[in-house]
Structure 1
Amino acid sequence: MPAKDTYHDAVKNALIKDGWTITADPYTIKYEELQLFADLLAERVVEAQRDGEQIIVEIKSFLSRSQMRDFESALGQYIVYRTLLKYILPGSKIYLAIGQDIYQSFFAQKAIKLVVEENNILLVVVNLNKEEIVQWIS
C-alpha cells in the first residue's frame, strides 16, 4: 500500500468539514489483474437522492523540485484511475485534490489550464492551513 501524501489529513479533514463521509482510506481500485490505490472514497447523502453521491479523491502535494514532472505524473495517474473507475464504480467522479497555493501559482498558468480543461480533470482546491475546501472545479 502506498504512503500517504503530505497533505492527506488536511484534505480528508476539509472533506469532512464540507459534509462528506470518508468511506475508504485508501480506496482500492481493482480491475482484472490491476490493483491500485486512490487516496479517499467519500460519500454525501443529498436530500433529493436516496443513494447520495460518491467521489474518489486523489491528493497531490507538488513538493518535488519539478512541479511539471509532478503534474505529468498526477495527470497520468488521474487518467488511469478515471478509466478504470468508469467500469468498477460507474457514476462516481474522481477529483484531484491540490493545495490553494499550488493552484494559484502553478495551475493558474494558461498552458496548465488548457491541459486540465482538455483532459476534463476535476479539481478540489483546499486551504491546507485551515483544512477547508476553497473551490470545486468541474
Structure 2
Amino acid sequence: MPAKDTYHDAVKNALIKEGWTITADPYRIKYKDAELFADLAAEKPIAAERSGHKIVVEIKSFLSPSPMRDFEVALGQYILYRDLIKLTEPEYTIYLAIKDGIYLNFFERDSIKEITKINQLLLIVVDMEKEEIVEWIS
C-alpha cells in the first residue's frame, strides 16, 4: 500500500467539512491484472448539493523542485486511474486535489490550463492550512 501524501489529512478533513463521507482510505482500483490505490473515495448524501455523488480523490503535493515533472507524473497517474475506474466503477468521478498555492502559481499557466482542458482534468483546490476546499474545477 502506498504512503500517504503530505496533504492527505488536510484534504480528507476539507472534504468532511463540506459534508462528504469518506468511504475508502485508500481507494483500491482493481482491474484484471492491475491493482492500484488512489488516496480517497468519498460520497455525499442524496439530500446534499452534490446529491448521491461518488468521487475518488488523488492528492498531489507538488513539492519537488520541478512542478512540471510533478505535473507529468500526476497527469499520467490521473489518466490511468480515471480510465481504470471507468472500467470498474463508472459511477465514480476522479478528482486531483492540489494546494491552492500550486493552483495559482502553476495551474493558472496558459500551457497547463490547455493540457488540463484537453485531458478533462478535474481539480479540487484546497487551502491546506485551513483544511478547506477553495474551489471545484470541472
Q: Determine the C-alpha separation between the residues in 2 that align with 1:47 and 1:18.
A: 13
Corresponding residue for 2:72? 72
Letter in 2 for 1:55: I
TM norm structure 1: 0.96
* Poorly superposed stretches of 4+, deviation over 4 Å: none
Corresponding residue for 2:16? 16
TM norm structure 2: 0.96
Per-residue deviation, 1:135: 0.1
Per-residue deviation, 1:46: 2.3
Corresponding residue for 1:29? 29
Q: Determine the C-alpha separation between the residues in 1 that align with 2:58 and 2:85.
A: 13
Identity %: 65
Q: Determine the C-alpha separation between the residues in 2 that align with 1:47 and 1:65.
A: 43
Cα distance per residue 1:74-122 (max 9 Å; x no partner): 0000000000000111121000000000000000100000000010000
Q: Determine the C-alpha separation between the residues in 2 that align with 1:128 and 1:90.
A: 29
Q: CA RMSD in A?
A: 1.4
Per-residue deviation, 1:59: 0.1
Corresponding residue for 1:131? 131
Letter in 2 for 1:13: N
Q: Unaligned 5+ residue runs, structure 1?
A: none
Corresponding residue for 1:47? 47
Corresponding residue for 2:114? 114
